[in-house]
Amino acid sequence: MAQLGNQGQFLAFDEFGRPFIIIKEQEKKARVKGLEAQKANIQAARAVTNLLRTSLGPCGMDKILVSKDGDVTVTNDGATILDKMEVQHQIAKLLVELSKSQDDEIGDGTTGVVVLAGALLERSLSLLDKGIHPLRICDGYERACEIAVRHLESTSEELDIQANNHEVLKKCAMTALCSKVVSAHQQKLADIAVEAVLDVADLTRRDVNFEHIKVEGKPGGSLEDTALIRGIVIDKDMSHPQMPKVVNDAKIAILTCPFEPPKPKTKHKIEVTSAEEYQKLYEQEQGYFVKMIEDVKNSGANMVLCQWGFDDEANHLLMSNNLPAVRWVGGVEIELIAMATGGRIVPRFQELSPEKLGHAAVVREIGFGTTDDRMIVIEGGTSLSALTILVRGGNKMIVDEAKRCLHDAICVVRNMVRDSRIVYGGGCAELLCSIAVNNEVDKEPTIEQYAMRAFADALEEIPTALSENSGLNPIDTVTMLKAAMNEDSSKRFGVDCLNQGTNDMKELCVYESLNSKTQQLQLATQLVRMILKIDDVFAPSQYE
């Protein structure tokens, strides 16, 4: 094989001596170094943050996301937007992971943490142009973040959860919901979120197990029809249309074994050569079915929930023996039903006994409108440790967004149970931190004071974005708020996004969890530190 004049072209011969040309495309390894790499990374991150900036706050705009399959999602939740975006740049992917970390740990504030990270990166550009080393910028940001977190902790207010102060919990949930699509129904959804969390919370250990709260959605009706059911809702119906639709004082056999004859574990072959042999085989199978029904009846059960399916023969026997049954119940639902009813999951019919049955006040099948959709509702179990929130909405898109909003509200209430300290929203917490950091800048004798001042300026990006999204003049609003807070440090002023006539966030009851706010500051600072320390980017060639 000989190389031709053009780079990447080679002359070769096959087994018959016929020549052919091999063209090998070679891409040069794209390499960006030093300051250029840092600026390119910052620009990529700003492109993502500018996209989310308009979705911040109660007046933030929604985004419509279309998947490759044509599925449409309308949301202003930062984590959902970034998760469904096809981000290709490596630095932009770090912002996606940042939002996911905030969502996993806190559940709320996913948009704010990305906007704050973008503001910190934008301020670092001017510092880099001044010749300040990236590590010095990172150190300044770290010191400023520590000052901000300490100031938030010292100015936060403690909420007494044990004193049944549920109204403040409701206000915190409403603050999380006011920026969502479902803001028109935020009061009802906040009530549901608070009730659900407090019902499953262990206040002595300050712990909430999310596995005990199940959120189900069914298109149809309106958001006003959303309800909290102290029990379990499963998206199934009775296995036979003539089975009773309501079972009072239900004694439930929770099975993970199928209603069918046992299958041998080795391969075998059965030859049926006569009608008598066929009849004998049929009677043997009937005997298996009858024995299974007898085991269920002898245990005292009057209802069966089975993880597996069963054929028409078993279904007919269950119906004729007045045993309502539900088949193909998922594994997660099986566990929740066992917790809610106090029953035991039974893997074999021989192990069925009265003490392993679950108990519920009523099990009923409900329908929706004029459709054939049915769901099974299990209420009044022996334990209230499993709840279901049934979300209704005009279409699937509204139901999905309402489920995401409820998740955020539930997470906010959960965080308040874990750490009941609160700060005030509307940009108030960020302005307090900005003032505190600026007051400490003059005490810093090193070059890090430039980075600390930039950190304080970046914190003002949150109230600035809230003002812009609310149709207010951002410069006038932020200047007025800072002046008012300097005059009276005891007041908690923020952006009046909904034009309610006052900037006092305490009066407007705009509360946020201290844990959420400190997590935003720390995660954003850590990510910016990681990005600023990158000075070399390698793009591998397509062909090695």
Q: What is the pLDDT of residues 17-54, one digit of tens each?
A: 566 555 554 333 344 456 777 787 888 888 888 888 88
Chain segment 376-396, per-residue pLDDT in tens: 888 876 665 678 888 988 888
Q: Is 334 helix (H, G, I), strand (E, B) or coil?
A: helix
Q: What is the pLDDT of residue 32?
A: 43
Pure H helices in 299-421? 312-320, 331-341, 396-418
Assign 3-class secondary structure to 169-207: HHHHHHHHHCCCCCHHHHHHHHHHHHHHHHHHEECCCCE
Annotated catalytic residue: which of 408, 464, 477, 525? Answer: 408
Q: Which of 72, 88, 153, 163 is nearest to 397 (CA)?
A: 72
183: confidence class by pLDDT, cuts 50, 70, 90: confident
Domains assigned to the chain: 34-158+424-539 (1.10.560.10), 231-383 (3.50.7.10)
| Res. 525: pLDDT tops 80 | yes
Residue 77 known to be catalytic: yes
Q: Please state, in angstroms and rounded to a whole number, the distance separating the CA atoms of residues 221 and 24.
A: 61
Annotated catalytic residue: which of 77, 108, 400, 496? Answer: 77
Annotated catalytic residue: which of 75, 80, 111, 175? Answer: 111
| Mean pLDDT for the stretch of residues 407-418 | 86
What pTM value is reported for the model? 0.77
Which range is least confidently modeled, 17-31, 96-110, 137-151, 311-325?
Answer: 17-31
Q: Please state, in angstroms and rounded to a whole number, the distance separating the CA atoms of residues 535 and 162.
A: 51
Q: Please state, in angstroms and rounded to a whole number, the distance separating the CA atoms of residues 435 and 205.
A: 36
Q: What is the pLDDT of residue 4?
A: 46
Q: Could you tell me which residue, 540 or 530, shows the higher pLDDT? A: 530
Residue 111 known to be catalytic: yes
Spatial strand order of the sheet with 157-158 comes to 157-158, 421-424, 511-513
| Mean pLDDT for the stretch of residues 192-221 | 84
Residue 104 known to be catalytic: no
Neighbours of 478 (CB within 10 A): 23
Please answer whether residues 231 and 340 qualify as being in contact, where contact means their C-beta atoms are separated by less than 8 angstroms: yes
Residue 479 known to be catalytic: no
Q: Please state, in angstroms and rounded to a whole number, the distance separating the CA atoms of residues 514 and 428.
A: 12
Q: What is the pLDDT of residue 453?
A: 92
458: confidence class by pLDDT, cuts 50, 70, 90: very high
Q: Which of 386, 356, 435, 365 is nearest to 152 (CA)?
A: 435
Please answer whether residues 495 and 427 qualify as being in contact, where contact means their C-beta atoms are separated by less than 8 angstroms: yes
Neighbours of 116 (CB within 10 A): 27
Sign of the alpha-carbon torsion through 435, 491, 165, 59: negative
Which range is least confidently modeled, 45-49, 203-207, 323-327, 461-465?
Answer: 203-207
Q: What is the pLDDT of residue 146?
A: 93
Half-sphere exposure of 137 (CA within 13 A, CB side): 26
Q: If you average pLDDT over every residue of the chain, what do you get?
A: 82
| Mean pLDDT for the stretch of residues 108-115 | 85
Q: Which of 57, 111, 106 is nearest to 80 (CA)?
A: 111
| Res. 6: pLDDT tops 70 | no
